[in-house]
Structure 1
Amino acid sequence: MANYIKEIRELVGHKPLILNASAGIVANDQQEVLLNLRTDTHNWSLPGGYLEYGESFATAMVREYKEDAGLDVKVVKSLGIFDQGFTKYPNGDVTQVISQLYLVQPIGGHTLDEATDETLDLKYFPLDQLPPLLNQQTADMLAAAKTYFDQL
């Protein structure tokens, strides 16, 4: 069932929803993380997104990574579930997002070199020099990644 969220929004309008999403952390050799500049909010987030009906967290993350960043990825490790993601989008939609975060490894594809309908830009950032982020949940996920990398 593609476009599950769109179908739900057609029924409930901008009413606050609890949604499930997944995101992935790709880090380069300097432990900088790949972020995407979003077209909807014009701030940065981890590649990832909402689950379609019937998808697992991992399947959705792999699909969304390809859409948002152009990379084929595989799951290396779960870095946790984050359930305090509150976002109000420019179109008026309000969500509380429950997100599964994965450490992932690129296995193919290449980073997008032009804007898409969801991504304006992709860039690696040091975890202590982050740009303006989508929301507190994104900041929390990046803090968890930093803790993970600091323990290596």
Structure 2
Amino acid sequence: MANYIQEIRGLVGHRPLILNAAGAILVNDRQEVLLNLRTDTHNWSLPGGYLEYGETFDQACVREYKEDAGIDVEIVQPLGLFDQGFTTYPNGDETQVISRLYLVKQVGGHTLREETDETLDLKYFPFDNLPPLLNQQTADMLAAGRDYFAQK
């Protein structure tokens, strides 16, 4: 069922919703993490997004990574579940997002070179020098990624 969230928003308007999402950490050879500059909020987040109806977290992660970054990924392992992602979007939509975070590796595709309806830019950043982020949940997920690589 494509555009499930748009259909729900058409019924409930801007009222707070609890939504499920999947995101992923992809690092380059310098252990920098790929982030995307969002079109809706003009700040940075991990490539990822909301599950469509009937989709698994794993499936959403792979699909969203391709949509947001142009990269085909394979899941290496889950890194955590984050349930305190509160965001009010510029259009007034309010959400609490339950996000499954993964570590992924690139298996194909290439980083988008042009803007899309969801991504203005893509860049790799050191975990200790991050740009302005979407919300606290994004910061928490990046901290989990940083801690994962610090233990390796």
Paired position in structure 2 for 1:39:
39
Q: How does 1:1-150 map to 2 (within 5 A)?
A: 1-150=1-150
Q: Deviations over 1:122-141 (max 9, x none)?
A: 00000000000000000000
Give the Å deviation of 1:29. 1.0
Q: CA RMSD in A?
A: 0.3
- Unaligned runs of at least 5 residues, structure 2: none
Q: Secondary structure of 2:8's match?
A: helix
Cα separation, 1, equivalents of 2:126 and 2:77: 20
Q: Secondary structure of 1:90's match?
A: coil
- Unaligned runs of at least 5 residues, structure 1: none
What is the count of residue pairs matched by the alignment? 152
Length-normalised TM-score, structure 1? 1.00
Q: Deviations over 1:82-124 (max 9, x none)?
A: 0000000000000000000000000000000000000000000
Length-normalised TM-score, structure 2? 1.00
Q: Secondary structure of 1:11's match?
A: helix
AA at the equivalent of 2:82: F
Cα separation, 2, equivalents of 1:141 and 1:30: 19
AA at the equivalent of 1:147: D
Cα separation, 2, equivalents of 1:64 and 1:78: 16
Cα separation, 1, equivalents of 2:22 and 2:134: 14
Q: Secondary structure of 1:146's match?
A: helix
Off by >6 Å, runs of 4+ in structure 1? none
Q: Secondary structure of 2:108's match?
A: strand
Cα separation, 2, equivalents of 1:26 and 1:36: 12
Q: Secondary structure of 1:5's match?
A: helix
